[in-house]
Amino acid sequence: MSTEPDVRSVRVQILGEEHIVKGQASEEYIKTLAASINARLEEVQKSNPLLPRHRTAILVALNLLNELEKLKAEHEELLALMEEAN
């Protein structure tokens, strides 16, 4: 019996292009992530129709990283508050 997690390949559509994403998450989860990325890319592209795809992708990546960093800071604050409460 193998102890390694199952890696699956999932076909997704992002900005009209088919991509194969490999991962250990469920097919549904991978498709949900791809749909979310696609929606963000389309939103940026709609606001900036002349922006090349690679720059659209960079803007989306920067926005996502900004959201992640804010969530990390909030998480740290909550952990600190929990520490103080104990």
Return the biggest CA–CA distance within the chain: 54
**In a domain? residue 2:** no
Domain that holds residue 26: 8-85
In a domain, 3, yes or no: no
Can you give the pLDDT of all 86 residues of the chain as single tens digits? 566 679 999 999 999 999 999 999 999 999 999 999 999 999 999 999 999 999 999 999 999 999 999 999 999 999 999 999 98
CA 34 – CA 9 distance, rounded (Å): 13
In a domain, 23, yes or no: yes
Q: Does any domain span residue 75?
A: yes
Domain assignment present for 28: yes
What's the domain count of the chain? 1
Predicted TM-score of the model (pTM): 0.82
C-alpha distances in Å from residue 64, one per residue of 7, 78, 84: 25, 21, 30
- N-terminal to C-terminal alpha carbon distance within the chain: 44
